[in-house]
Amino acid sequence: MKWKNLIKVAFKSIIKNKMRTLLTMLGIIIGVGAVIVMVAIGKGAEQRIQNQIASMGTNLIMIFPGSMQSRGVHMGPDQGVQLTLDDVDKLKKNSTLLEAVSPVVRSGVQVIGGSGNWNSSVWGVSEQYLEIRDWEMTLGDFFSANDVRAQNKVCVIGQTIVKNLFANEDPLGQQLRLRNVPFKVIGVLKERGQSSFGQDQDDVIIAPFTTVYYRLSGQPHIHQILARAASLEQMTQAQAEITAIMREAHKLPEGEDDDFTVRNQTDIASTAQETTKVLTILLASIASISLLVGGIGIMNIMLVSVTERTHEIGIRMAIGARSRDIMVQFLIEAIVLSLSGGLLGVLIGFVSTYIVHLATDWNTVISLENVLLSFGFAGAVGVFFGYYPARKAASLNPIEALRYE
C-alpha cells in the first residue's frame, strides 16, 4: 500500500475510536507533562543557584587561617598559625594577579544607637572591600583609605541594622556605640537578602579594619583575608600565587603542609549546584518512569485493540492487505497516538509549569532541548511499545481472523 493510504487508514482508525484514543494517550500526556514540569523546576533551582554564585562575585578568593591537617593531626583554629596584617601587606606588595586585598576582622557586638540596641557583628575591612565583594551602596559613601590609615570611627551598615535601629529616621550621620566606642554612620549598603546558605547578609556593620583591630577586637589576629583576582580566567594562577606568597611569609619549608587555606566562592557554590543537578536528574527520572508507564499503557491498549479488531484485520487481509500493510497501520497508529499524546503533554507541561511558578514563586526554566527530548522520547515509546502488537496483528492467519467474532 502507498504511504499516503497507510497513513490515511491509520488516522481513520484513530478518529473512529475517540474514547480509546484519548485513554491511550493519557499515559503519554501525563508522562511528557510530568517530565517537562519536573525538569523545569529542577533547572529553575539550578539557575537560581547560578545567579547567586554570580552575585557573590566570582573572582573572589578567600584565605582562612589554619590548615585542614598538620602531619596527620587535625588542628583547631587557635592552635594553628594565625593570619596577620603582615600577610596582607605582603600579598598587596608581591602579587601580580590580584586587583584588591582586604583583611577581615570580625567581632560580635551589642550595638546601641538610634531607637534601641541590636546584636550584630562588626567587620573590620579595608577600603577595597566593597570592590572585592561587588557590593553597592544605597546611601552615603564607603570609608576611604584615609579613614583606614587614621583609624577613624566610622561605619557602613546593612539594611537589617537600619530596620531595627533607624526605622523612622535617616541613619546617615547618626552614632552607633559598639562596646562603648562611638561610630559615625557614613553609609548604608544595598539590600542583599539571604545568602544561599541562609545567612542574613544585611545584618552587618562594616568599619575600617584598623579601628576594629586596635580598638574593638582585642584579639591580635585577623579572621580571613579576601582578595579579588584581576580576571576570572586567572583564578587558578592567582590562587597558586597567593599560596606561594603566604608560604614565603610564613617561612614554610619544602614538604611542609600549608598552615592556611585558599578557597574561592565557586568551589563552595559548585557543591550546591551539584546538589541541585542531582535533584534535577532525580526529578527527571521519576517523571521518565511515568512516561515509561504511559508507553506500557499504549502497548496494553494496542494489544487489546489487536484482539478486538482481529475480525477487521481478517477482512483487510481478505481484500488484499499484506502483513506489512497491517503492521505499518498499527505502528503508525501507535506512533501517531504517542506523538499527539506527546504534543498535548508538552502543552500541559507548559501550563502546569506556569501554574507551579505562580503558586510557589519557584524559578522554572523550560528549555527547548528538554521539550524536544521528551517529545522524541514519546515517539520512541510509541515505536517500541507499538511494535509487538503490530507484529502480532500482522502475523494473524486470515482465515482464523475472519472467523473470529
Q: Is 316 in the site for other proteins (CB under 8 A)?
A: yes
Q: Is 392 in the site for other proteins (CB under 8 A)?
A: no
Question: Which x/- pattern, by CB under 8 A, does the window 294-313 give for other proteins?
Answer: -----------------xx-
**Least spacing, CB of residue 5 vs other proteins, in Å:** 4
Cell digits for 35? 517530565
Cβ atoms of 167 and 115 closer than 8 Å: yes
**Least spacing, CB of residue 22 vs other proteins, in Å:** 16
CA–CA distance, 59 with 95 (Å, rounded to integer)? 15
Tell which one of 81, 230, 303, 402 touches other proteins (CB under 8 A): 402
Cell digits for 400? 482464523
Of 379 and 398, nearer to other proteins (C-beta) is 398
**Least spacing, CB of residue 339 vs other proteins, in Å:** 22
DSSP tag of 309: T
Of 246 and 313, nearer to other proteins (C-beta) is 313
Q: Is 30 in the site for other proteins (CB under 8 A)?
A: no
Number of residues that bind other proteins (CB under 8 A): 25
Positive or negative, the CA dihedral 245, 249, 252, 258 is: negative
**Partners of 107 in the beta sheet?**
122
**Least spacing, CB of residue 308 vs other proteins, in Å:** 11
Tell which one of 79, 163, 322, 351 touches other proteins (CB under 8 A): 322
Cβ atoms of 120 and 179 closer than 8 Å: no
Q: Is 251 in the site for other proteins (CB under 8 A)?
A: no
Phi/psi at 70 (nearest 5 deg)? -135, 110
**Least spacing, CB of residue 312 vs other proteins, in Å:** 6
CA–CA distance, 2 with 101 (Å, rounded to integer)? 76
Place of cell 605582603: 90
**CA atoms within a 13 Å half-sphere pointing along the CA-CB vector of 244:** 10
Tell which one of 62, 268, 272, 315 touches other proteins (CB under 8 A): 315
**Least spacing, CB of residue 317 vs other proteins, in Å:** 7
Stretch that binds other proteins, among 49-57, 61-69, 172-180, 314-322 (CB under 8 A): 314-322
Of 1 and 112, nearer to other proteins (C-beta) is 1
Helices of type H across 309-367: 310-318, 323-360
**Least spacing, CB of residue 320 vs other proteins, in Å:** 2
CA–CA distance, 75 with 66 (Å, rounded to integer)? 7
Alpha carbon distances (Å) from 358 to 111, 229, 393:
40, 40, 47
Binding residues for other proteins (CB under 8 A): 1-2, 5, 8-9, 12, 16-17, 311-312, 314-325, 398-399, 402
